[in-house]
Amino acid sequence: MKQKLTITVDADLLPIAKRYARSQGVSLSSLIEQSLREVAGEHAPSFSSRWRGKFRAAGREDDPRYDALARKYLQ
């Protein structure tokens, strides 16, 4: 659940922060929330790191496409 927070920042910083948030395609609130999460050490693992090592090679024989992909990605 989201909760409202009132903060005070330097008057010169506010327009710079708003421009930066807009250039990143996020709201200022989202930018501040993301920054607070980083400072607090709350890092969500990436998709690839969550799934790394979870899959095993299928035992396919005589499939040249599978062999090529297995050589490329499983070794």
Residue 68 has pLDDT above 80, yes or no: yes
CA distance 26 to 5: 18
Q: Kindly indicate the confidence band of residue 61, based on its pLDDT and cuts at 50, 70 and 90.
A: confident
21 with 28: CB under 8 angstroms?
Answer: yes
Q: Please give the residue that has the higher pLDDT: either 6 or 57.
A: 6
- pLDDT value of residue 6: 94
- pLDDT value of residue 57: 67
16 with 10: CB under 8 angstroms?
Answer: no
Q: Where are the domains of the chain?
A: 1-46
CA distance 64 to 21: 48
For 4, 5, 7, 40, the CA distances from 1, given in Å and listed in that order, are 10, 13, 19, 18
Residue 50's identity, in one-letter code, is: R
- Here the tokens at position 56 are 């095993």
pLDDT tens digits along 15-41:
999 999 999 999 999 999 988 888 887
Pick the CATH number of 1-46 from 1.10.10, 1.20.1630, 1.10.1220, 2.60.40: 1.10.1220
